[in-house]
Amino acid sequence: MLNEIEDILQQALQAVDAAEDLKALDEVRVRFTGRRSRLRRILGGIGDLPGDQRPSVGQAAGKAQRRIAEALEGRRLALERAAESEAAIDFTLPGRPQRRGHTHPLSATADELVDALRQMGFTVADGPEVEDEHHNFDALNTPADHPARDEQDTFYLTDGRLLRTHTSTVQIRVMERQPPPVRVLSVGRCYRKESVDATHHMVFHQIEGLYVDRGVSMAELKGTLTALGRRVLGGDTRIRFRPHFFPFTEPSVEYDFSCTLCGGRGNSDGGRCRVCRGTGWIEIGGAGMVDPEVFAAVGYDAEKYTGFAFGFGIERVAMIRHGIDDIRLFLESDLRFTRQFGSG
Ligand code: DAH
């Protein structure tokens, strides 16, 4: 008898839980606690039981009845509340506008540069941010006593590896892997031990290009960089080369784009241009013809092949493009900043 009561209780609780609306719940109530329910029959028959069973059966049946009543009441309240909140939705209220996400200004600039280079036949190559000295310095013909290797400029890991200081590492990785011709670009994060200020950061991004084949010349380098400048800074952009030195190129140049604000005149709003400081030019990055020593390090025949390479900081280009005056803004993820560059 006690087992039967327990059985009824479990069935009832399950049925209560499964009731999806008030009508179904009322049916459950009638079935398990109504006048013709099993439980009521048991309660009604207690007087006919042997005397020693009456108290325990009476108690168990009473308790089961109370627990079922409680479960019914709880479920009733929950169903009523759900029905109320559904009824409370006012479909005529104006919706809450959802902001659409958009590309970060740095990614947008990088995407355009990559796009322009891909249209010129460059494919995207990748390399690790944690590098070894071989790819970051040695194979790039950087002498052992070069100041860039200094602990004050480069982040070294305890195992001797380092955080790459430029994307030129990828040139070596690609040339080690495949024979010429090569026409690749690489974009990515670089690290230097800089004191952070408005124009320097210890984390920044570069884009790198490498083109090696028979008869590649500096004229093609100039044409490629001009096309890139025009794509991101406007169709009138001009370029100039200045002689420079890099261990991995010979000859090497630095290049400037004509100023986007004053158009290269050096003055705007009746005074000295604040973007180029009156020079008419904006410094962008480095480039040159791949040094034969670099070809030797990767096993390319420098008698047969020539190539150009270039690299520059993406932050700098994005800053000029959008008139941003502090490089730190790119990394801070402050929505008040990033939201200014979306269309929605
Ligand atoms: N790696 C240089 C830097 O970080 C930039 C650079 C200069 C890249 C000349 C090149 C290059 O590929 O040929 O300042």
Instruction: For 15-71, write each residue's pLDDT tens digit.
Output: 889 889 889 888 989 998 888 888 888 888 888 888 888 888 888 888 989 999 998
282 has which bridge partners?
257
Question: Which atom belonging to ligand 1 lies closest to the Cα atom of 206?
Answer: 4
* CB of 291 shorter than 6 A to ligand 1: no
CA dist., res. 57 & res. 160, Å (int)? 80
Tens-digit pLDDT profile for residues 251-304:
999 999 999 888 888 888 788 988 888 999 999 999 999 999 999 999 999 999
Nearest atom in ligand 1 to the alpha carbon of residue 248 is 13
Q: Considering only CA atoms, which of 327, 166, 312, 167 is closest in space to residue 228?
A: 312
Which residues, including other chains, have CB under 8 Å from residue 60's CB and lie 6 or more apart? 2, 5, 6
Does residue 246 line the site of ligand 1, with CB under 6 A? yes
Answer yes or no: are the C-beta atoms of 319 and 327 closer than 8 Å.
yes
What percent of the chain clears pLDDT 70, i.e. is strictly above it?
Answer: 99
Atom 3 (ligand 1) nearest CA: 166
- Is ligand 1 within 6 A of the CB of residue 313? no
Q: Is the CB of 287 under 6 A from ligand 1?
A: yes
Residue type present at position 197:
D
Ligand 1 site, residue 307, Cβ cutoff 6 A: no
149 pocket-lining for ligand 1 (C-beta < 6 Å): no
CA distance 87 to 275: 60
Residue that is written with structure tokens 């520059």 in the block = 312
Structure-block tokens of residue 93: 């209220």
Q: Which of 289, 286, 279, 227 is nearest to 258 (CA)?
A: 279
Residue among 242, 248, 317 to mutate when testing ligand 1 (max atoms within 8 A of CB): 248
**310 CA to middle of ligand 1, Å?**
5
Structure tokens at 198: 């408005």
With left for phi above 0 and alpha for psi between -120 and 50, is residue 306 left, alpha or beta?
A: beta
What does the pLDDT read at residue 82?
83
Q: Which residue has the higher pLDDT, 270 or 155?
A: 155
Alpha helices in the chain (DSSP H): 2-18, 22-33, 38-44, 54-87, 105-119, 133-136, 169-177, 218-233, 292-298, 314-322, 335-338
Give the predicted TM-score (pTM) of the model: 0.73
Residues whose CB falls within 8 Å of the CB of residue 299, separated by 6 or more in sequence, listed in order: 176
Whether 186 has a pLDDT exceeding 60, the answer reads yes
Q: Are 57 and 2 in contact (CB under 8 A)?
A: yes
pLDDT of 87 strictly over 80: no
Q: How far is the CA of 239 from the centre of ligand 1 (A)?
A: 17
**Residue 169 C-alpha to ligand 1 middle, in angstroms?**
10
pLDDT band at 250 (very low <50, low <70, confident <90, very high): very high
Among protein residues, the one with the nearest Cα to ligand 1's atom 8 is 311
Q: Is the pLDDT of residue 249 over 50?
A: yes
CA end-to-end distance (rounded Å), the chain: 71
User: How large is the average pLDDT for residues 316-339?
Assistant: 92
* pLDDT at 344 (0 to 100): 44
DSSP state of 341: G
CA–centroid distance, residue 210 to ligand 1 (Å): 10
Where b means 16+ CB within 10 Å and e means fewer, 214-245 reads: eebeeebbbebbeebbbbbbeeebebebeeee
- Report the distance separating Cα 169 and Cα 292, nearest Å: 16
